[in-house]
Amino acid sequence: MSWTDERIDLLQKLWLQGMSASRIAAELANGLTRNAVIGKVYRLGLSGRTKVGGVTSPSPRPQQKAPSRAPNPRPTSPMVQGNTALAIKPAALEAPAPLPSRDVVVSMSEPVTILELRESMCRWPIGDPTAAEFRYCGARKTPGEGPYCSHHARIAYVPQQDRRRERRIQKSA
């Protein structure tokens, strides 16, 4: 598959929304890697996401080929990133104030699709597994073997300390 206009369009949209390359790649679901996404973005001249605030960073992208080799003229753009980056996009600032949803738990990183789910991520299911919107918690898994983040682990393993003494007495045997 190649970069169709539609795909490029979506790519731009997502990229400008602040979505990370890896997520976009996963979203476009095509075996595309984040490298492919980044590479395309680069070619499109979209690299160096303009930050919010209108301060149009000069995004100096010398499209010219450096004779020998440009060691690393890395401007080190100020970008919010990392697993915990909340994809703060311009749209978010313009968007209506988030309704005081009451059940927004402390979930940091947004839920992830199964494609984005990694071994180190919480597998707590979010939503209807049969729905397309089904996601997993995706937060950092608690070290060890727990398939869940610490938060969900507690919910999952609410042990049965309270369990009725199931097998009462089986003395007579």
Which residues of this chain interact with DNA, rule CB under 7 A?
1-3, 19-23, 32-36, 38-43, 47-49, 61, 66, 69-77, 79, 81-83, 85, 118-120
Distance separating alpha carbons of residues 113 and 111, to the nearest angstrom: 7
* Minimum distance, C-beta of residue 114 to DNA, in the bound complex (Å): 13
Question: Between 23 and 152, whose beta carbon lies closer to DNA?
Answer: 23
Nearer to DNA, 82 or 159 (CB): 82
**Beta carbon nearer to DNA, 3 or 134:** 3
DSSP string, 18-74: T--HHHHHHHH-SS--HHHHHHHHHHHT--SPPPTTS---------SPPSS------
Task: Check: CB of residue 52 under 8 Å from CB of residue 88.
Answer: yes
Q: How far is the CB of 143 from DNA (least distance, A)?
A: 11
The nearer residue to DNA, 22 or 142, going by C-beta atoms, is: 22
Task: Give the three-state DSSP class for 1.
Answer: coil
CB of 157 to DNA, least distance (A): 23
Cα dihedral sign, 16-82-39-1: negative
Please state the closest distance from residue 18 (CB atom) to DNA, in A: 8
